[in-house]
Amino acid sequence: MKEFIRKNVRPLCTIGLIVCLVLFISIALGITLGDVFENMIHVGKYNEETSYESGIPSYDNLEPEQKDELSQNEDKTGDSITYKEFISNPPEFDGEHMYVAVNRNRPFFTKDDKQVTDTFYVYSDLDSLGRTGVAIANVTKSSFPEGIRQGDLSTVTPSGWKQVDTKEMFNVLLTTDNGATDHYLFNRCHQIAWALGGSELGKENIFTGTLSCNLTMRLFEESIWDFLDTAKDDHVLYRVTPVFKGDELIPRGVLLEAYAVETKGLFIDFCQYVFNAQPGFEIDYTTGDVSLSLG
């Protein structure tokens, strides 16, 4: 009996005393168990390879109804606004949600814009600070590239470019909902995606964007690609507007507008603002410097 107590009861008593001691200290310091677990998960600089979730699933992993909502959702609760009004006063990133519907999710295209059936790609010249401007295209299946990319994106240096290795600087890995991991915070983001026929290495088509921004844009780009893969002869009018604040070199976000021309907006008809941000981090949009968010 004594041997049984020594091997089984005493260890349990010891563990119980330790738990009680931890709880007593936590109560004294005003720390809850929820705080303890939250810090274990989210404080990357204290834990080996702690990861921040981008919260962006891959398009293929979305349910059919989610794909429909992504491509066409009037959002009747939103406010109507003009293109100029939005560009001059975009919303601020809330630290969590990577995109938001604009103008009730209705693009700002004119009636005449929506009737054009010619295929084209037009990019703005870089401004005096080397920043990209509005890019607009009327894309169709036949204008999509075949094969794989041949160019080297590393040869293009967009405004504000300064790569940040989150593992080296903060001991943090970036992860996505599909399980992929990365440790480079910034991407060279295409305004008109290469998969949609956009210029692969044209400096007028590339801006400094976060990993989460790039993945979020890809959701909407893939919804267009998916539609045109079926409606092969149709066109989607697509405009991407980078939104800068003052003389900052990295955009705070990008406004995406798309409209299926031949189907008069059926299946593809959206207006979404994607934040150029990375959950868990603070970005200096002028210098490209990055720090961990304390919020």
pLDDT at residue 44, as a whole number: 30
Look over the chain and give the mean of its residue pLDDT values, rounded to a whole number: 84
Q: Is the pLDDT of residue 16 over 60?
A: no
* pLDDT-based confidence at residue 14 (cuts at 50, 70, 90): low
Higher pLDDT, 48 or 272: 272
Q: Is the pLDDT of residue 51 over 60?
A: no
Average pLDDT over residues 29-58: 44
- Give how far the C-alpha of residue 291 lies from the chain's centroid of Cα atoms, to the nearest Å: 18
pLDDT at residue 5, as a whole number: 45
As for how many domains the chain has, the answer is: 2
Both 105 and 191 in a single domain? yes
What percent of the chain has a predicted confidence (pLDDT) above 70? 77
Higher pLDDT, 111 or 2: 111
Structural domain for 274, as ranges: 47-292
Higher pLDDT, 88 or 9: 88
Distance CA 162, CA 167 (A): 15
258, part of any domain: yes
Least confident of 39-43, 68-72, 97-101, 242-246: 39-43
Both 25 and 51 in a single domain? no
- Mean pLDDT: which of 18-27, 176-185, 209-218 is highest? 209-218
Q: Is the pLDDT of residue 281 over 50?
A: yes
Average pLDDT over residues 138-166: 93
228, part of any domain: yes
Identify the burial level of 294 via C-beta atoms within 10 angstroms of its C-beta, where 0-12 means exposed, 13-18 middle and 19 or more buried. exposed
Q: Is the pLDDT of residue 111 over 70?
A: yes
Average pLDDT over residues 206-233: 95
Both 203 and 61 in a single domain? yes
Both 224 and 98 in a single domain? yes
Q: Is the pLDDT of residue 35 over 80?
A: no
275, part of any domain: yes
CA 106, 111, 114, 120 dihedral sign is: negative
pLDDT at residue 180, as a whole number: 75
103, part of any domain: yes
Q: Is the pLDDT of residue 204 over 90?
A: yes
Both 12 and 118 in a single domain? no
Q: Is the pLDDT of residue 27 over 90?
A: no
Average pLDDT over residues 182-187: 94
Q: Is the pLDDT of residue 246 over 70?
A: yes
Instruction: Record the tokens describing residue 57, joined without a space.
Output: 């699933």
Q: Is the pLDDT of residue 241 over 70?
A: yes
C-beta pairs of 105-108 under 8 Å, 24+ apart in sequence: 105/72, 105/73, 105/74, 105/75, 105/78, 105/269, 105/270, 105/271, 105/272, 106/74, 106/269, 106/271, 107/237, 107/239, 107/257, 107/258, 107/259, 107/269, 107/270, 107/271, 108/82, 108/83, 108/257, 108/271
Both 279 and 222 in a single domain? yes
127, part of any domain: yes
pLDDT at residue 62, as a whole number: 79
* pLDDT-based confidence at residue 220 (cuts at 50, 70, 90): very high
Higher pLDDT, 294 or 88: 88
Average pLDDT over residues 217-233: 94
What percent of the chain has a predicted confidence (pLDDT) above 90? 66
273, part of any domain: yes
Average pLDDT over residues 175-191: 86
Both 128 and 12 in a single domain? no
